[in-house]
Structure 1
Amino acid sequence: MKKKFRKKILGKKNRLRISVFRSNKQIYAQIIDDISSKTLISSSSLEKEVKKNNKVKQSYEVGKLLGFKAKKLNLDKLVFDKGKYLYHGRVKSLVDGIRHTGIKI
């Protein structure tokens, strides 16, 4: 399933990919340029800017932090790669935080 989805989004020159990893306690997100195979920006719930709330609120703040970092690099359109995770709960909250900053996904 993951390979089928990534096949559609990999290699897009005009859009970068947001990859997410969710563990039991933390959430990590990064913006990846697949053409040059480099991570441009990363953010996680371990950063000092993220307040220690419940996990859903932390995910929202991680998304906002990632969105503000992307705005500094003038990135406005991104593709979201949810990987093996369902789109609800913390993953949805992360995307809502990114969209809050004005980035289109």
Structure 2
Amino acid sequence: MLTKRERKDPRLIRKRRIRRKVLGTADRPRLTIYKGNRHIYAQIIDDEKGHTLVAASTRGAEFRTRMPQGGKTIDAARMVGEILGEKALAQGIQQVVFDRDGFLYHGKVKALADAVRERGIVF
């Protein structure tokens, strides 16, 4: 049963509507993001198998070596996108379906998506 927050929160309503339409396959996995108050997370998922193929976040070790001051800024989101794009290309992933998880497409979400595209991932 849905809680009161899940029924009323606009982001969660958008998330459910998007997830009904977006499905990742082995040929074209799903790139999903989550943006908290302090960190941003991104992962590429094969929904048919239920496996996470590639993941990156502002909490990861690779992020901390590239950006030691940390951050919850747009620059940090861009760096996570670059890391994710590099990891995806190393795994042979060239096309994805973008799932913004109900977050509006601006700011950190847009910066992450643009950074992944700059690395050569198509969506």
Q: TM-score scaled by structure 2?
A: 0.78
Deviation at 1:4? 2.3
Q: Does residue 100 of the first structure (1) align with residue 113 of the second (2)?
A: no
Distance 1:28 1:53 in 2: 13
Answer 1 or 2: which has greater helix percent.
2
- 1:61 is aligned, of 59, 69, 79, to 79
- Percent of pairs with identical residues: 38
CA root-mean-square deviation: 1.5
Question: In the TM superposition, what is the alpha-carbon distance from 1:40 to its structure 2 partner?
Answer: 1.0
1:49 is paired with a residue whose SS is helix
Name the counterpart of 1:74.
92
Is 1:43 matched with 2:41?
no
Q: What residue ranges of structure 1 are gaps of 5+ in the alignment?
A: none
Which letter maps to 2:73?
K
Alignment partners' CA distance in 2, 1:23 and 1:11: 23
Unaligned runs of 5+ in 2: 1-13
Deviation at 1:43, TM superposition (A): 0.3
Q: Give the number of equivalent residue pairs.
A: 105
Counterpart position of 1:7: 20
Q: Which has the higher strand share?
A: 1
* CA–CA separation in structure 2 for the residues paired with 1:25 and 1:75: 28
